[in-house]
Copies of this chain bind each other. A is one copy, B any other.
Amino acid sequence: MSEIGVKNGVATMINVFHVEPEDQKKLVALLVETTESVMRHVPGFVSANIHASVDGTRVVNYAQWESEEHIEAMLADPEVHPHFAEVRAIARPERGTYRVVYVEEANPRD
């Protein structure tokens, strides 16, 4: 269970992958495998949260890192590049680094 909050202090990387519906399952499996074998061992990793679109055309990785600097360092790490190439062979990623600015809940827990 990951948490989204304005005061979490994490940096959020949201990556929307555009994919052919017949490749969506393969892409999810690839992102899960990359998270478990590589990303979770990279300094600053907080969480990865993988979402499959109902229409089959997209996968989103909502990933939390300790800081924007940790994201930059991960993106520059040559060890992760072969994994990005595997993903790019079947999907078009659209990545951004974000700050949470507002949270509104029907039933707030804090």
Residues of A within 8 A of B (CB): 1-5, 8, 11-12, 14, 16, 28, 31-32, 35-36, 39-40, 45-55, 57-58, 60, 62, 68, 94, 96-110
Closest to A105 in B: B47
List, in ascending order, chain B residues with CB within 8 A of A3's CB.
Answer: 1-4, 109
* Bound-state Cα–Cα, A40 to B45, Å: 32
Majority-rule SS of A interface residues = strand
* A60-B2 contact, Cβ under 8 Å, with A51-B14, A52-B101: no
Selected from B46, B52, B99, the residue in CB contact (under 8 A) with A98 is: B52
Q: In the bound complex, do residue A49 and residue B103 qualify as a contact, i.e. CB atoms below 8 Å apart?
A: yes
The one of B2, B8, B68, B100 that contacts A103, using a Cβ cutoff of 8 Å:
B2
In Å, the complex CA distance between A19 and B10 comes to 23
